[in-house]
Each structure stands twice: as C-alpha cells, then as structure tokens.
Chain A
Amino acid sequence: MTKNLRVKSSKLVDETYRISFKFNGTTYYGFKGDTLASALLANNIHLVGRSFKYHRPRGIMTAGSEEPNAIVQLHNGTSRTEPNVRATEIEIYEGLDASSQNCWPSVKFDIGGINNFLSPLLPAGFYYKTFMWPASFWEKYEYFIRKSAGLGKSPDVPDPDIYEHKYIHCDVLVIGAGISGIIAAKTAAKNGFKTLLVEEKSYLGGSTIYQDSEFFKINNQNSASWLEKEINEIKKIENLEIKTRTSVAAFHGYNFLLARENLTDHLPLEQRENKTRQRLLKIRAKKVITATGSIERPLIFDNNDRPGILLSSAIKKYADLFGVACGERNILFTNNDNAYETAMSLIQKGIKVQAIIDNREEIDSKLIKETEKNNIKIYKGYTIVDTFGYKRINSVSIMKLSKDGQKVIGSKENISCDSLGVSGGWTPAVHLFTQSGGKLKFRDDDQVFIPNTYPSNQISIGSCNGDFTLDEILINGPKLLKEFLKIKKTEYENIEIYSAFNKSKRNIWLLPSNKIVGKTKSFVDFQNDATAKDIKLALREGFRSIEHVKRYTTTGMGTDQGKLGNIHALGIISETASSKMGELGTTTFRPPYTPLTFGTIVGRNVGKYFDIIRKTPIHKWHVENKAEFENVGQWKRAWYYPQNGENMHEAVQRESKAARDSAGILDASTLGKIDIQGTDASEFLNRVYTNAWSKLEIGKCRYGLMLNEDGMVYDDGVTTRLDENHYIMTTTTGGAATVLGKLEDYLQTEWPELDVYLTSVTDHYATISVCGPNSKKIIQKVIPEIDLSDKDFPHMSFKNSKIGKVKCRIMRISFTGEQSYEINIQANYAKSVWENCMEAGKEFNITPYGTETMHLLRAEKGFIIAGQDTDATMTPIDLQMDWIVSKKKFDFIGKRSLYRSDTIREDRKQLVGLITDNPEEILEEGAQIVADMNKTPIEMLGHVTSSYFSPNLKKSIALGVVKGGKNMMGQKLIIPMEKKQINVTVTDPVFLDKENKRLNA
C-alpha cells in the first residue's frame, strides 16, 4: 500500500530535510516545505475524512484554503489541539500529529457510513423536518447527531500560546502575492506609496511561480523565471512590507481590514515556546488592491466526491510545487484548456495521463495539439457519468454529450484510473470584495461574477477581477493600477506575452447522466453533503430565494463557506427555475474568509488582562487585610473582610453591627465625582436634578435624584456646594461615566448658552467614609484642629481642612443612617489617611466594612441603590420619593414624563418593604411576589430587589417592587420558591430609625 509518489524537481520542498509526522497514529515522512496534504499524497494517502452527513469517504480535493474535505484535528487530546485545520494549508513540522475528523470509530471503518445507504431517507431539510418534532425529543436526537457527526473537538484545557493584536496603517494594501499582487505592490511602492503586501501562503508568486513551461512566456522568459526576478526586486524595496502566512479574514467599510498573521504554526512544537503564535492585524489602508486570484471550479456529476478526485489545478500544483504525483494513472476531466496545462506538467515530470475527457466537441489550441502529441487519448464532447471505487477512485464511466449538452447519448465506456482531475473553469475569489460592500456583475461570456461597483477606495485586479489569462493580467492590471494610483506609467507598458491558452469553455452546471437526477449523488457542497438533487428538491418544495435554498440544503454553510460549489448551486437554480444568473444574486460571504482561532480574536485580552481593572488607592490595604473583592463595573471593591474563618454572612453581620454600635470605615473612592464650575452651575443642577438647588448655601450638601427624559430614575448621589459657582457632584460607582456623558450632552446640545464646565475627578480624589456613634471622636483625633460640633458642622454640610499639610474636604453625609464623615483627599495620600483613621479608631473597635455591609446598612434605612432597586422603569413616585420632586421648578429633565398617562397609573410597581413572617427566613433577591396562588395564570405582582438579615433589627428585611404596593401596607403576600412558599407582609421601606435620630447621636 505504501508507495513513494515523489517525483523529481519540485519548486518548494527541500528534499534534504526530512520531517516525520503522524496521521491517524501512523508515522510518515515528508520534506520541509510540504503541506500535510502534499506529504500524505506523497505517501499515497488520499482518504483523510468522512463527509458530514453521509459519512462518505473523502480525500484531499484542492491545494489551498478552499479545501472542503481534508480537514483534520491537530494534536488531539493536548492543550494545543485544534479542529478543522485544512490539511492543504498546514505546513508539516517535526512532531505534527494529525487525525481525521467526523469518523467513528475510524476513517477506514465508519459506522456513520450507513447514512450513505440510507441517503434516500436523508434529503435536504431532513434534519429540519425530522428532529424538530417533538421539541422535547431534541436532547435525545442531539446526542446521536453529535456523536456521529460534528466537526472536530475543541480543547478542554487552556491554550498555552500567546496571541496579539497589531494596528497597521498604510497607503496601499495589496491582498495576495500572485503575479497581479506582485506587480501591484511593486508599482505602488516604487511610486512612493507606503505599501503592505500580504499573502496567505508561505511563498510568493501564486500559481505563476510554478508555471514553468514554454507555453507561457513574458519577455521571452518563461513566466516563472520572469516573476521570480520581480519577486527578488520587490524584496529590496524599502517602503514595501511583505507578510506571508497572512490571511485577510475580513474587509470592512472604510478600508478597515482584519488579517491573521501566522507566526509559529509551521514550527516544531518545542520551538514555539514564548513566541507569539498568531497576530491579528487591524489594517487601515488608504487604498486597497485586491489580488486574491480565483478558485478552480469542480464539475458536478454522479459520484464526483471519491477520494482521488481532485481539482485539475491542484494535481498540477502538487506535481510542480511539491513534486508529488496524485496518482500513477491520471484522468483529467475538463470543460476548458486548463486541464491541458496540468497534463503537460504531469508529462514533463513523467507522470502518466491516461486520458482527457473534454466536454467540448470542437477544440483547438496549441496547448491541446501539444498534449495530443504525447499519445494521450482525448475524448472530445464527452462527459463522465459515474465513478467507481469506495476508498479511492478506480475507474470512470464516460458517455457522449448531446449537441445541446442536456443529455448523454451512445454507449458507456469505462476507463480505469487512480486519480481524476476535474476542471470546470475558474471562479474569481470575490469574497473579500463583497464583504467590503462591493456589488458584483455577472459576465455571461464565461459565466463568472466579477466586481462591478466599489464602495471604498479599492480595486480588484487579476483573476479575482475576471482577467484569467497571462495577457489579460499583464495588460489590464497595469492599466487599472495607473488609473487607481494616479500615475503616468508603469514598468509593464511594452511587455511581450506569449500564451498557448485558448479561452473557450463549455459551461454545463449539472452534467447530464444516464440516470435520473434523483438517483445520482452529484455533490455541489462537499463539506455539507449537499447534492444537485437536494437543490432541485428545495426548488420543487417552493424555495426560490438563493438565501433560502442555501439554508434549506445547507449549501455553502460549512467552514469553507462553499468556496468551490456555491456557483454551481446558483447555476442549477437558475437553470431549473429559468431565472438569469445575474438576477439571482449570490449568497453573502461573511468574515472570516478562512476560520480564525479564538486566540487570535482575543489576543492578549485573556485572564487578568480580559478587561481593565480599576483599583482604589487604598486597594493594597484591603488586600493585606484579607478582603474579599467584588467587581463593580471595572472596579475591584472590598466586599467584606472575613476574620478567623468567617463566611460572608458571619463577616457581614459582625461588620454591620460594629458600624452601628461603634464605628465602621468604608473605602468609597469608586463613587463617581464630577467637578462642576461656572456662573450657571446652580441653574444647571436645577435642570438636571428633580429637586431645587438655587438656595443651597455654600458649604452644604444635598442629595439629588437624576431622571431620564422619560421620567425614570437614572442615578443618584450627593452634591456639595464648594463655592458660589463651584460644586462637586457624586454619582454611583457604575454610573460615573454615563452621567458625565449625559450632562455633557445637555450642556453641549440643548443648553449651550449655560456657562458650565464639567470635569471628571473620580480618580483624583479618594473617599474614606467613617460612620457610627464614635465616628466624630475618630475624625477629631485624625484632624484635631477641626470643629466637629453639630452646631458648627451639622449633617449635610462640608468643610475644607488639612491633614498634616495635605488639603482635604470633609463632608458630613450618610448612606448608612449613622452619623458619618467622608474624607475626600488627593488619591496618593489616601492609604496613609486610611491608616491614620484605623489607628485613631483602634480604641473604638473601628471595623472596616465592604460593599455587602454598606448595602445591608442602607437597606435597613430604606435607601435605594440605583440599578439594584431601580431598573429604568421606576419613577421617583414609584420609589415613594415624592418628597424629592420639586413642584415649583418650571422644568427639569424628565419632569413632563412624570404625569404621562402611564406614569400616573396607581397600579405601577412601587417600592415597598417586605417583612417575612418567619424573622429568620431570608428572601432571595429576584424572587417573584404574588398575592393569589390559586389564580391561573398566577399573577406576578413584582419581585424582591434587596434582601438581608439585619443584625441590628435581628430579623430578615427586604425591599421589593410590587404593583400598587403603595396602597398595600400591612397586606400579606407570598414569595413562591421551588419547594416552599414564604409569607411576607408589606411595610414601609424604612426599617430602622425612621426619625433619623442616629444621624446626630
């Protein structure tokens, strides 16, 4: 079975450098420069996988990124495992370990292969029709579908590799380094444009670089040698950067492109340590030149998917570039001249061509004549009607085509072979062009879609623009470049081109057979097993839109996005439905062009770098004192400080009690702080808060509620008047940025006449809040010279002061209901001031508390947390905070909305307190609230928004929103839980110290 199919003279592989690799557990050898596909073919291995639906044996079909069949899993069972890697793209390296996907238990014996025999039962839409009903059975179906199908396995351990993102700005980006890309890059760079040339393969020159024959000449040299000189020249140009192994994944608007640069995938594993594996390039180019080439079309006939059937151009490439024969007895099947190029390449290398089957009846070109000289039998006007061989093609049946190409006539003839190359002409690779928003037109002459209108500063040149022959490329390309780059001339003005190629083609989308279509398996999408029969069925069932047919038959929905067969699907639809190709349109090609790893997409944003982490200037102290942290937006906030193995509940109970019994200290530095200055600052606050601000004296603080224009509570906080025209506003931690944005919006767009300036100072000041009956004594110790008497420094007032030489602001405000002082100080002094407070408070058992205790303490007082007790559907009236809504003010943001017919409804959800019958029972936040369990359907009245066990009240307390709750005081309600019902009573939301005595205790 094992054979060496390596032939002499190859362009790319280094036969002095042998590399061993594993495929399905067996060790094989290849050479440096081989792809996994070329190395397997050299070892006479064609069968690499099973098809998705029918589990038919499948082999390598192409030699590029368009490969539908030969997709493998790399390094199965390790952290570097990767599914769906195209064997045609991965370069082999010492230690490469690849295995087949989509086969179980093995590629040679696959149980799912039974689907092939059941295939009459598995038509298009089978999965939709069968497994969708009954819905409850889906879990069972899914188990079997996933086990027998599915494309590869994802790794289950962290990725050890490093990925990164890089921004690139250039004047001209050239995509693709085939002959067109090379002349474009050279022309752009030599005319002073900062140019970037990217190429998905490891080498430059595309298919011309191995076009080594006397049939194709440029300036009297064969085209490969001519291009090689061009490549050597461009490598020396300074303002031209060349990136190989770099595949453009997405072409967005405004010439913004994403490309993946592969840096280590071709290296042995041990050489990859500490190197960046893949880089996502974010390219912004002033001009883009797309030279992505074209993809050879397969031909659609019965059993066109057997291992050993490849694109004719792939057979040529394996022979010329890798020195590999795909078979020893090749047949070529074509509708154009390209197969003859392949034939001549094979003959040059001593590889046998059995026969060429050509759809065309009357053909004549130099190339064909040359081929005929080599005693190759050419069947003109014939088609293949069937193929044979289960795991490898062994023969084909051919018949004569009728004049109109709709039928086969005469008798069948069998020809044996071990490899079949098919050539159906070329499809321009317009994927990136259409991604960018470009519109295509259909060229009837040769049945191709080519670029028509460009949405940005870009052009397509070469075969992706429909210029397939050497003369078209070298005449039209430079012409387009001159116009696009606005230059007078190029180096390619008087170039001499010789091409033996004739452009004639006989395009038949679905080749006729002696069987009826229903009995054939003519694959259109190889990866997803969609056949011509499926497409015809979809049309019979009434699907007309190409997008619908695509989804119903799954044509083009594989990881290859149907790069080979989409065009044939369109062709078959147009023929069957008698609609014009140009009018059908194409399906949308979506990024990425070829699959990207998650690692590339994420880059360095993994683990602790996943998102920005904001820490307060006192963070280190919290860490040293064993705080547990909670994420509040990007902030890390101390959550609670467990002592002696306390759990969260125990720690919070201790902290809450200490804060009310003696003294607590909280790091409130994360609160948003906005400095507001200007002669209209008071008027501005009047307009943005619901209450009145004009009369607030200098040195006083006031709590404010901010609404959206729709009347719903948006944010809250205390604002202090520092001076006549100077305020400092605090916002919630999470709302800081959006509040600033909203205020700027009104200032700049609605009230530009106001003289007001806003500056975010959140990070500039730290805030230390000391609360509790002993807070005054502690602050006095920290700042001995300050007068803290209630008369001189009452609740809701502010003083400038100094700690040592450092200026600070002290606010007497309270979010806990206790007497409390907030020290605002320049951030870099905060930790030492915090430590001063801890030292001064030692004798009073000052207890640091975190956000959990803060929430509990404020809930005891019935203070809301915007965003927890409110959810953008709560007005101040709903919150029972009517007192804060000014009746006198002419206007403020959201005022008019407070008496819309909807906001004045009595049965809106309103904030209430909830007390459980059992004082030990703690409600779950988010739990539903109902009144009548017997009503069907049960009416949900609202939900619990905050819930705690209060150590100070020695009972469970909760806040919740309840429909019409305001008028339900004392009423019994039910919280239904999974296994029980909890009875609660509606109360006032203020549970503790309704008279606010503690503020001055």
Chain B
Amino acid sequence: MFLINCPFCGEREQSEFKAGGEAHIVRPKQPTELSDDQWAEYLFMRKNIKGIQFERWNHIHGCRKWFNMVRDTSNDEIKAVYKMGEKPPVK
C-alpha cells in the first residue's frame, strides 16, 4: 500500500485514492474532425510500461482533487506528484 503525497493534503494512505489511468492524454478539441482510427487512438490506446509511468490519481476520499504521479511500475516507487496542468518535475 502506497503512501501518497497528495499535492493538496500531504501524505495519505493509498486507500484514500483512486487511480485514473495514464496521464497527459488530452481530449481532442474537435472530435468530429477525427477519423475512427484517430478517435480510437485517443479512446482506447493506453501504455502499459514496466518502468517510469505517468498516471492520474484522484484523492477521492479526501480533497477530491485529481493530480498526476510519476511512478516506477517495476518497484512502485513514486518519483513525484504534481498538480494537473503542471509539467512533470522528472523525466
């Protein structure tokens, strides 16, 4: 069980959070302009990395805020957390 440093509340148990999948996937501004393949790319395709992964988390039983996390999926080490809209502090 992770100890997650919510950017708004500080360190909390993982049980207070919900994982929300890959981060930095921007919803297309004009979906109607996209082909089926392009739309499917946005809708369905997600990375499943062994190593450094950027992901979204929600402090669902806390401040309800969404934020981003950089996690090494091979050992679950959380490299960084940062607010939505911010640039990742690590590569």
Contacts and interface: CB of A to CB of B under 8 A. Distances in A.
A741 B36 contact: no
Interface in B33-91: 34, 36, 39-40, 43, 56, 58, 60, 64-66, 75-77, 84-85
Contacts of A455: 75, 77
Interface in A707-723: 709-710
Nearest to A896: B31
A253 interface: yes
Contact of B20 (A745, A891, A897): A745
A741 B39 contact: no
Nearest to A708: B43
Interface in A887-916: 890-891, 895-897, 900-901
Contacts of B60: 741
- Indicate the member of A709, A710, A752, A896 with the most B CB atoms within 10 Å: A896
A21 to B, nearest CB: 40
Contacts of B43: 709-710, 897
Contacts of B13: 284
Contact of B56 (A256, A709, A749): A749
A859 to B, nearest CB: 33
Size category of the binding interface on chain A: 20 to 34
Contacts of B3: 254, 256, 284
A890 B32 CA distance: 8
A396 B77 CA distance: 54
Contacts of B84: 748-749, 752
Given A710-B43, A752-B84, A900-B36, A744 B66 contact: yes
Size category of the binding interface on chain B: 20 to 34
Contacts of B56: 749
**Binding site secondary structure of chain A:** mixed
B75 A254 contact: no
A809 interface: no
Contacts of B85: 752
Nearest to A745: B66
A750 B24 CA distance: 10
Nearest to A895: B31
A416 B65 CA distance: 75
A744 B77 CA distance: 27
Given A455-B75, A890-B32, A897-B39, A745 B2 contact: no
A437 interface: yes
Contact of B65 (A252, A748, A891): A748
B72 to A, nearest CB: 11
A749 B3 CA distance: 23
B16 to A, nearest CB: 13
A901 B2 contact: no
Given A253-B76, A750-B27, A745 B32 contact: no
A252 B15 CA distance: 14
Nearest to B33: A896
A891 B60 CA distance: 27
- Indicate the member of A437, A741, A749, A897 with the most B CB atoms within 10 Å: A749
B61 to A, nearest CB: 10
Contacts of A284: 3, 13
B2 A896 contact: no
B60 to A, nearest CB: 6
- Indicate the member of B1, B26, B76 with the most A CB atoms within 10 Å: B1
Nearest to B23: A749
Contacts of B32: 890-891, 895-896
Nearest to B4: A254
A253 B1 CA distance: 6
A750 B1 CA distance: 29
Interface in A852-903: 890-891, 895-897, 900-901
A254 B12 CA distance: 12
Contacts of B36: 900-901
Contacts of A709: 27, 43
A633 to B, nearest CB: 16
Contacts of B76: 253-254, 437
B31 A891 contact: yes
Contacts of B18: 741
A771 B25 CA distance: 47
A909 to B, nearest CB: 20
A901 B65 CA distance: 36
Interface string A425-436: 000000000000
Contacts of A897: 39, 43
Contacts of A253: 1-2, 76
A900 B40 CA distance: 9
Given A741-B58, A745-B58, A900 B39 contact: yes
Contacts of A896: 31-32, 34, 39
Nearest to A901: B36
A55 B42 CA distance: 60
B6 to A, nearest CB: 13
| Nearest 5 Cβ contacts at the A-B interface | A896-B31, A256-B1, A748-B66, A254-B3, A750-B27
Interface of A: 252-254, 256, 284, 437, 455, 709-710, 741, 744-745, 748-750, 752, 890-891, 895-897, 900-901
26 contacts: A253-B1, A253-B76, A254-B1, A254-B76, A256-B1, A437-B76, A455-B75, A455-B77, A709-B27, A744-B58, A745-B20, A745-B58, A745-B66, A748-B65, A749-B66, A750-B26, A750-B27, A752-B85, A890-B32, A891-B30, A891-B31, A891-B32, A895-B32, A896-B32, A900-B39, A900-B40
